[in-house]
Amino acid sequence: MKLVDKEIDSWIEPYATVVGSGVTVDIGLKESDIAKYFLKLTQPEIFEAYAFSLTSLRFYESISQDKSTNNLIDLQEDEYKKIKWKDFFKSKDVDFRLNDAIAKAIDPKLSLNETYPGDGHMEKEQINSFTECILSLYGDQEIEVFYVFMSTWEMKNLLYQGNISELPKLLNNPDLRLTPSLVYPKEKNWALNTDYDLPFTTIGGESRLIDLLAEKNKDKIYRIK
User: Are 21 and 76 in a shared domain?
Assistant: no
Query: Are 150 and 213 contained in the same domain?
Result: yes
Residues 87 and 159 in one domain: no
Using DSSP's 3-state secondary structure scheme, residue 38 falls into helix
Position 152 pLDDT exceeds 70 = no
Same domain as 149, residue 61: no
pLDDT band, residue 102 (cuts 50/70/90): confident
pLDDT tens column, 162-184: 999 999 899 888 777 667 889 99
Is pLDDT of 149 > 60?
A: yes
Question: Do 127 and 31 belong to one domain?
Answer: yes
Instruction: Count other Cβ atoms within 10 Å, centred on residue 180.
Output: 26
Report pLDDT for 112. Answer: 45
pLDDT for 132 equals: 97
Average of per-residue pLDDT across 200-223: 94
Interval 26-40 mean pLDDT: 92
Shared domain for 41 and 60, answered yes or no, is no
Task: Give the pLDDT confidence of 50-90 residue by residue, as tens digits.
Answer: 999 887 666 655 544 544 444 444 445 555 567 776 776 66
**Same-domain check for residues 214 and 107:** no
Do 41 and 47 meet the contact criterion of CB atoms below 8 Å apart?
no
Q: Angle at Cα 12 formed by Cα 7 and Cα 18, nearest 5°?
A: 75
pLDDT at residue 92 greater than cutoff 90: no
Domain boundary among 115, 141, 156: 115
Tally of domains in the chain: 2
Q: Is 174 found in the same domain as 105?
A: no
Contacts of 60 (CB under 8 A, 6+ apart): 73, 75, 79, 80, 113, 114, 115
Is the pLDDT assigned to residue 110 strictly greater than 80?
A: no
For residues 95 and 124, state if they share a domain. no
Domain boundary pick from 115, 150, 185 = 115
Tell whether 133 and 92 lie within a shared domain.
Answer: no
User: What is the span of the domain harbouring residue 66?
Assistant: 56-115
In a shared domain, residues 138 and 181 = yes
The reply to whether 99 and 185 lie within a common domain is no
